[in-house]
Structure 1
Amino acid sequence: MSRESVTVLGLGQMGSALAGAFLAAGHPTTVWNRTPARADALVGRGARRAGTVAEAVGASDLVVVCVLDDAAVRELLGPVAGRLAGRTLVNVTSGSPEQARETAGWAAGHGARYLDGGIMTTPPGVGSAASMFLYSGSPEAFAAHRETLAVLGDPIDLGPDAGLASLYDTGLLGLMWSVFGGWLHATALVGADGVAAGEFTPVAVRWLSTVALFMERYAGQIDEGRYPGDDATIDVQVAAVEHLLHAGRARGVDGRLPELHRELMAKAVADGHGGDSYGRLVEVFRGAGRPA
């Protein structure tokens, strides 16, 4: 059974991982990089090295670009834009939602179908079905190439708005950093009393599954704009965060992260929402009620 041919432009760590996953799945893969030697290992595995961007784009109907930033995408593809007609461009370069929408319009103007992508893993996770790859843009392109893109990881279709993959990507990275920050703070706290990180972390991971249930509950409240405090009110959680701050001060642990949580909760309480659920804090982030 023949496999769809693919071109990968950009062979940094992530681009090389993408090309490697296509090769491993049996897809004829053409590669190009500004520094040709970056392609040597992939060529050794069966990839075809393109001498120019034009040659690389012309080799496949599916062109995946993974470079430094949006400016680099335009620099590479601008001179060969005429060759994009009838092809699908999948741009997994990190950028803003606004840049993604602009590039989608630019690609459409040159007769190409466009998908913007968000890679929710590091290079070692490429090729695993457990890794999420977010896509937004042309529904036709996603349907046509879904099977091929699935060799990289689980392809999640976010719909026709090309900016959504980038928007989800940045939001999810913020969530990741917040989780890491909370875990590191907690690890420092219990570690001050001699608890090893390896001993504490399995308990923390189990707790996160419960936190996920609260997130699902609060999501419905946010969409409805109603925040019944029928589980734990903000007033109760303000008292609880004081215990966390006290324990941290007693152990010399930096308290800036829980202090931020207390500040957000205090704002909601001051606005008269202490009896609401923690989901109400989304309105603080949105700036609801603040002067324009």
Structure 2
Amino acid sequence: MPYQSPLHLLDSLQIEPSQLNPAGLVQVRKKILAEFNLTPDITIAVGNKQYTKDEALKAIDQLKELQHLNDHAAIFQDKPLLAWLENPTGAEFPIQSISDQHWSGQQSPFFDEILADGLQAYCSYLLKRRQFSTIIDPLALAFSLPDPLPYTLQETIYEFIQDITAQLEEAQKVPNHRRDPTTFGYIVYDDWADFLNSLPKSAFWHVVNDYCVAAVNYTVAVQHYLRDFVYEITHQLVRTNCDSGLKTTIQSNYQIYRENYHHKPGASETKSRSYGWVIWLVVVLIKLAIACSG
């Protein structure tokens, strides 16, 4: 559940954040009691809300007993940050506010937990919408949080990449030449490779390598039917950080596709097919090597 500030009471009780201390709250309590003593009414208007005496005093007592008061106050006074924490998928991402708070040297474990929850919701939202260029900065903030706060988000991303890898492996078995470019269209853009390269190597190296192997094998399976698509996928694989042996194969494939498919779309199918068998064999061997080293 998104963070909800307990300090919205400040607005309705017309309390300034500077009054959030025992002495200040005592003065507010006295002021409220004085207003009730001066009126025969059961309720009084404080801000835009009507309070009975009991409601007003209980609201003040809640503030007196509130833990992590400084963190709540800092968030409450930063309205862009407050809006985003309370609605991570609907409000604008306040990267400057978060950076200022996070790198101020005054952040607390409580604030880090609130921030981690917001980043989890926001990054999951961006992943589902394939907004890979937008997610890079929030991920950098999330992964800079102390362990174990980033773990849940790491698992979400890990499973996301695993799912794409599994889909490519299935598509390799039964390619759909009409549907596949739509299903996997996002992996031909720069922001996909940039996203993969932004992930911490210590946590994602294995799963990114698995994805690259699946993508290479898929391109080999459909190279005679989806030539431009294969070229574009391989172009992004060249840009993606992966195992050095696998990278060599990808670069070799890329050169073959450039010479036979991209720049020479009329290249003979026989020649292309012979290349395909060489590519396939090398990729299978590399996949076995990666599995053994893991």
TM-score by length of 2: 0.25
Which has the larger helix fraction? 2
Structure showing greater radius of gyration is: 2
